[in-house]
Structures are given as C-alpha cells and as structure tokens.
Amino acid sequence: MHRCHRRLLALSFAAMTVAATASSNAWADPSLSDRETARSLMDDGDAKRDKGDFRAALKSYEAADAIMHVPTTGLEVARAQAQLGLLLEARETLGRVGRLPPKPSEPAAFTAARRTAEGLMAELGARIPSVTVLATNGEPNQPVVIVFDNEVVPPAAAQAPRKVNPGRHTVVARSGSLEKKQDVDVAERESKTVTLDLKPTAAARLDSNETDPSSRSSGSSSLPKILVYGGFGLGAVGLGVGVVTGLLSFSKVSDVKKDCPNDVCPASRQGDLDSAKSLGTISTIAFIAGGVGVGAGIVGLVLQSKQSNSEPSPGPSAKLTISPDVGPTWMGLHGSF
C-alpha cells in the first residue's frame, strides 16, 4: 500500500511541475529545487519507517511537509506521529490536512490523501485515552486547582475527562496550602479516573507540627522547667558532695596535723596528706558545680515567671514575680505576689 502511495505521490509532484508551468492558477509555486528536496526527504522517511525508526522518519516527513504544505506530505507526518503514540498531534495534523482547500487542477493524490486523512481522524479519535481527576478534602473556602503535565486545567473543565496521549502523566491537585501529586499510566482507548485525597497524612501532620510556630513555642516553654529541675538537682548533688568531701578533708587534715609539728610531716603520713588534699579539691569542684546548678535553677524560675506573666489569663489572678538575689557570700531568690 505504501509503494502504491509513493507512486501516487511521485505522480503528484510531476503533475505539480506541469501545472506550475502551464497555468497561473496552479496549486503552489515551490521551486524545482524545493520539490526535488521534498521528494528526497519523503524517500528518506520511507526508508527509515521501513526500518522501524519512526522518530527519524517523522523528522524527514516534517521537513518535506514544511516545504510542500500539501495533503500527501501532511498525511505521512500524521501516520508517523500515530506510530509514536502522539495521537493528539496526529489528529491535529490530520485536521490541518482536511482544512487545506482544494485547488484547481490539483493531483488526484491530494484528493485521495484528504479522504484517507478523514478516515484516520475517526480511527484516532477512538484510540485516544482519557483521564478524569477527582480531588477531595480540599481546604475550606479554597478552590481546587488541577495541574496536568505542568498545564493548569481551566476550572470549568477540571472534572471533565481529559484527552491525553498513551503513556505516563503527572497530575497535581492544590487547595490552599494542601497539595497532592500522583503519576498515572494510561493505555490506548482506556478511560481512567484518578482520585487525589488532599487530607494530610499522619506523617505530613507531624512535619507540619514541627514547623508550626506554636509547637516551637511549646518546646521553648519547657526550657525553664528543664533549668529548674535540672539546675536545682545538680545544685543539690554538688552541694551535698562538696559538704561531705569538705568535712572528710578537714577531718584528715586535723588528724595529720597531730603528727606534723611545725608543719613538718613524717613520710609515713604523706599519703594521708595527699588524700586530704584530693578530698579538698573534689569538695571545691562539687561546690562550684552545685553553684552553677543553683544558678541555672534560678534562671529557670525567672523564665517561668516571665512566661506566666506574658500569657493571657482568663480572669484576674495574682502574679508571682521572682528575681535572683546574689551577694558576695550567698545566692538566693526574692519575690512578690
């Protein structure tokens, strides 16, 4: 069939050549070089199509059609597009072929190409698949926007079956801050419905809470509690250890001094003296740690007081004000109600 079509096409090129020289009402006036180039491109497209390389064949046919703009070249472009699954593009090309007005003394091959294009249009129409997108659980009072293969679908046609080429497509539904994306595969003649539930999943809600300012503020409100309990706990342990080790150190020093007249100790008591010094060092470190803990606890109390005073209360209530009171030899708090 394609060989017969090739012969008809060759005759149409020859007829165009004769008509162009015989009448001013000819179909068109491409030059002899144009026609010969187009004929060569069509032959090249046929050879590539016969080898199954429809993509390369399409390029050759499109180049020939760009020169001639006739029904026969347009028909071959549409056939190659259909072979590649570009059904929408093929229908568009066939529609253009059908809209080419007949010219006086045009070759019979052009008339035959128009009839063939009309039949192929109907065939492709039945092969083109469709996808219907349904979006649920959007944000209240927010429109749902459907994006199909990076193209925004007009709102009036958002729920209508969308004609697409066979293959994989990407559908996105948006409503306010909500968004759901899904890939869909569709075959020829298939009608598929895709439902996109915009309701956030548990994982999405968790992520949202992590970035929510209110959740961050609740996290920051726990800091004063950590400082209070952790600080005063450390302070109690540190002060307790400091007192115990300090007493032990003092006791050992007093015991050693009995055998150290004029602060000169015999070698037999050197170990006890070193032990007393070590206990003294531990006592000092423990007291420092305890002081730091108490300080942290005081800071936590102050922060708690500030937070409680800054939060709105449902009714009148007494306010507690606490502030640190630190002196040369003490550390404490004073407050008012």
Question: What is the tens place of the pLDDT at every residue in 63-86?
Answer: 999 999 999 999 999 999 999 999
Residue type present at position 273: L
How many whole angstroms separate alpha carbon 142 and alpha carbon 59? Answer: 46
- Going along the chain from its start, the domains and CATH numbers come out as 2-127 (1.25.40.10), 130-202 (2.60.40.1120), 221-336 (no CATH)
Cβ–Cβ under 8 Å, residues 124 and 90: yes
Q: Which residues are within 8 A (CB) of 171 and not within 5 positions of it... i.e. 6 or more apart?
A: 131, 133, 146, 147, 148, 181, 182, 183, 184, 194, 196
- Predicted TM-score of the model (pTM): 0.56
Tokens coding 76: 């071959």
- Determine the Cα angle at 319 with ends 317 and 323, to 5°: 170
pLDDT of residue 309: 66
Give 125-165 pLDDT, tens digit per residue.
999 999 999 999 999 999 999 999 999 999 999 999 999 99
Residue type present at position 77: V
Residue 248: exposure state from Cβ atoms within 10 A (0-12, 13-18, ≥19): middle
Residue type present at position 74: G
pLDDT of residue 37: 97
Give 88-134 pLDDT, tens digit per residue.
999 999 999 999 999 888 899 999 999 999 999 999 999 999 999 99
- Report the candidate in 101, 45, 32 with the shortest Cα–Cα distance to residue 73: 45
Checking if the pLDDT of 200 tops 90, the result is: no
pLDDT of residue 165: 98
Tokens coding 195: 């439902």
DSSP 267: G
Name the E strands within the chain.
Answer: 130-136, 145-148, 151-152, 162-163, 167-175, 178-186, 191-197, 321-326, 331-336
For 52, phi then psi, to 5°, come to 85, 5
- Cα distances from 38 to residues 26, 42, 65, 67, in angstroms, run 18, 6, 8, 7
DSSP 23: -
- Cα distances from 54 to residues 47, 77, 186, 235, in angstroms, run 10, 10, 21, 82
